[in-house]
Structure 1
C-alpha cells in the first residue's frame, strides 16, 4: 500500500526528536536515532536497498537512475530529523482540521492558544485544505518532518514509476540542524552528489537562495564573590553584570524589532552564580561585514559595563555558525532556475525568498555542495501554533518529482 505524505508525516511527528545544544555527542540526543531507524526501514520497504543509518545518526539512501544518459547530475534531497529545543516536542498530539472553511483555529489541549488569521494571513489561501496542527501543548515538528515525509513519498512514487526518466538521486536526512550542527559529520564523498536541495521552507511555491550569515557568541564573567553581610564596596555580582549587558543590547537590533534584511543580536541562554556567569547569544546578518559590526558592538557593550566593575573580568568568544548561501548559489544559477521551473510544472507560481535564519544548505553550499532551500509547507515553526497543509505537502512531492525529470530532460 502506498502511504500518502500525510500518513507519513503523522507517523513521524509523534516521535520526539528534539536536539540539545548542551550535549557534546553527535547526534546530540539518541532519540533522533529512533526516527532514523524507522526511516531506514521505510526506505528499504519501498525498494531502496542501500538505505542505512551511520554512526552519527545520518540517513543515506539512493534512488537508482532510470535514464540511459550518462551526463545527468546527481541530485540530493535533504531534510533534518531533529526538532527545535525552543518548545516541547514530547508527546505530540496532532489534530487535523479537514476541509478548512476559514477563521481562527483553536487548539484543544490549551484553550489559551489559537492560530489566528490576523496573525497568520496565509490561512486565507488555504480554504478547503486539510490543516494539521498540534493540540497546543507542544510544537508540531513540520520543521522538518514535513520535508522528510515529502522526500520519501516522492521517492516511492519514482520507484513505482520507472518509466519516469531521471538520474541517480541521493537522500540525506541529518540530525541536529536546529542547533547548527546539522552537517558537521556529513560524508560528501559518500554522498556523491553534484548539488542538493533542502526541503525546509515555508510557503508553497517558495525557493530560498539566500540565508542569514550567522555567528554565536559566548560571554563569561568572573565577578567578585563575598558574603552579602560584608559586601559593601566589595562584591561584584556576576549575575548583575550579565543583566546589565543584556539591558544595554540595542532594542532596535532584536529579533522582535527587526524584519526583512535587518540583522540582530539575540541572547539565548543565561546561567551563573554571584561569582561567575555565562551569557550565550546569536548574531545574525545577511553580510559578513554586518556580523563583524555587531560583534564589535557587543564587545564594546561588555567593556563599558565592566568598566564599572574593576575587580571583574570577562572573556568573549565569537564562533562562526554558517554563511549566506547566495554567495555560492549565484555561481550556479541553473540550480535555482530549474527549481523555479519545477514549481511551475507542479502548478504554482515560484517565489524567490530570503531566510531570516539558516538551513543545512547554508553550510553544505560552502562545503562544496550548492544547496538552495525548497518549501515544505509548514508555518509558525518552533512554536505550539505550528501548522501545515496536507495539500501543500503534496505540492512539495510534485515539485521533487518534476525536478528529477527536469534535470534528466535538460542533460
Structure 2
C-alpha cells in the first residue's frame, strides 16, 4: 500500500481542474501534465503501446501473456477534477488508525464529523486521507488512476495471466467530454470498467439521461420619461421562466432516482440575459417530457414581446442511460460482482447521478459500468478516502482480470456441452 499511497500523493499535487468555458483540449494545462507523468510511468513499466493523443487522452495496451483467446477488457479513469470546486494547491492529510470522532481539516476551521457523515463509523481503525478543508481532495479520479496503475504494475511484476488490457486516462470528463476523447479505433476492448469516486463496493450500471438547456433572452432597456411602452427587462423574463419550473422538481429536492431541473448558471443585464439548465431523468419518456416542458415555458413567456426582443432556447443531449447497453451483456456485471465477493466486499449497486464514461461509451455499444475507488463526499472540502479501500479497489481490478480469463474457460466448456 506504500506505493499506492505515494502515487495518490503525487497525482493529487497536480491541479487538473477542468474548465467549462474553453475550447482547448485538454481544457487545462494540469491534465496534460498528469497525462505526461503517467505516460512516463507506463513506458517505464514496459507498456510500450502507450500513446498520448493530441486531445490529452492517454491510451495504452498491455498485451495478453497467454496463448488462448481471451476477451480484451479496459480500465478507465478521468484526469480532471470538478470545475465547480477548488482543485488547486491540494494538501492531503493522513489520519492513521482512525479512532472515531471529529477530524479537523487543516487548522480546524472545517471539521469532518461522523454526525454529519455517519459512514465514518465504518472507518474505525483504518487510514483516512482528507484535504485541508480548503480544496477538494481529488479522490474520485486521482485514487482511481493510482489504483489502475498499481494493479497494472502488479500484473506485470507477478506475471499474472491475462488477455489484452486497455488502459485509458481521459481529460475533461467532468465537463462531459471524457469518452469523446477516446480514439475508438485504438480501443478494442469488448467491455470496460470505469473507476469513479464511490464508496467501497460501489457498482453502477444505470445513470441519468442528461441534457444541457441554454436560454438566451434579448430584452430592451429604456429608462426615460416612461418605460411602459418600450422596456423589456431580460432579467425579469429570466425570473419568470425560472418560476415556471415546478419548485419540487429542482435539484435541491431530488433524491435517488428522481429526475430534476437544475439552474447551473445565470448572467446578464436588462438587455441580454443567458441561463443554463441541466435536465436529468432516469426514465427516457420523462426525460423527453422535461425537455418539452422547457420549450413550452419559453414559448409562453416569449409571446407578445416587442419585435426587437426574443427568447432563444437550445437543447443539447449529453448522455443517455447506459442500462440499455449493459443489460445486453450481463456477464460484465456478474464478473464485477463476483470479483468483489471474492475480495470479501459486498457489492453495493447504486444509481449514478453524474456524467461518467459508462454512459458515454454506451453510445458506441461498449458496456462500461462504474466500480468504486473507495472514497466519499466527492467534489467538496469534506471529501475523504481510506487507504484500505483503495487497496481493495486494486484487488478487485486484479480479480476482474483473473475472472475474465476464467469466464472464457467456463464459457467454452458450457458451449461444448
| TM-score bracket relative to the smaller structure | over 0.9
Q: For residues 323 and 109 of structure 1, do their structure 2 counterparts lie closer, same or farther at Cα, with a shift above 3 Å needed? A: farther
Q: Of 314, 334, 337, which aligns to 2:334?
A: 337
User: 5+ residue gaps in structure 1?
Assistant: none
Partners of 2:325 and 2:366 within 8 A in 1: no
**Counterpart-to-counterpart distance in 2, 1:145 and 1:308:** 52
Q: Deviations over 1:275-297 (max 9, x none)?
A: 11110111000022111111122
What residue number does 1:99 align with?
A: 97
Q: Is 1:47 equivalent to 2:46 in the alignment?
A: yes
Deviation at 1:244, TM superposition (A): 2.7
What residue number does 1:280 align with?
A: 276
Deviation at 1:118, TM superposition (A): 2.6
- Kindly report which structure 2 residues correspond to 1:232-251, keeping only aligned pairs within 5 A, or say none: 232-251=228-247
Q: Is 1:265 equivalent to 2:264 in the alignment?
A: no
What is the aligned-residue RMSD (CA, Å)?
1.7
**Counterpart-to-counterpart distance in 2, 1:43 and 1:362:** 27
**Counterpart-to-counterpart distance in 2, 1:301 and 1:241:** 11
Deviation at 1:86, TM superposition (A): 0.9
What residue number does 1:69 align with?
A: 68
Range with greater deviation from structure 2 (375-384 or 393-402): 375-384
What residue number does 1:142 align with?
A: 139
- Kindly report which structure 2 residues correspond to 1:359-378, keeping only aligned pairs within 5 A, or say none: 359-378=356-375
Q: Of 111, 122, 126, which aligns to 1:125?
A: 122
Q: Is 1:179 equivalent to 2:180 in the alignment?
A: no
Secondary structure in structure 1 of the residue aligned to 2:312: strand
Q: For residues 65 and 238 of structure 1, do their structure 2 counterparts lie closer, same or farther at Cα, with a shift above 3 Å needed? A: same
Q: Is 1:386 equivalent to 2:383 in the alignment?
A: yes
Range with greater deviation from structure 2 (116-125 or 372-381): 116-125
What residue number does 1:36 align with?
A: 35
Q: Deviations over 1:108-127 (max 9, x none)?
A: 2560x222223322111111
**Counterpart-to-counterpart distance in 2, 1:75 and 1:208:** 17
**Counterpart-to-counterpart distance in 2, 1:220 and 1:298:** 13
Q: Of 251, 267, 277, which aligns to 1:255?
A: 251
**Counterpart-to-counterpart distance in 2, 1:348 and 1:199:** 16
Secondary structure in structure 2 of the residue aligned to 1:135: coil
**Counterpart-to-counterpart distance in 2, 1:79 and 1:237:** 45
User: 5+ residue gaps in structure 2?
Assistant: 409-417
Range with greater deviation from structure 2 (348-357 or 239-248): 239-248
Deviation at 1:247, TM superposition (A): 3.2
Partners of 2:340 and 2:396 within 8 A in 1: yes
Range with greater deviation from structure 2 (273-282 or 301-310): 301-310
Deviation at 1:96, TM superposition (A): 1.1
Partners of 2:213 and 2:314 within 8 A in 1: yes
Q: Of 187, 191, 203, which aligns to 2:187?
A: 191
Deviation at 1:232, TM superposition (A): 4.2
What residue number does 2:415 align with?
A: none
What residue number does 2:392 align with?
A: 395
**Counterpart-to-counterpart distance in 2, 1:255 and 1:47:** 46
Q: Structure 1 length normalisation: TM-score?
A: 0.95
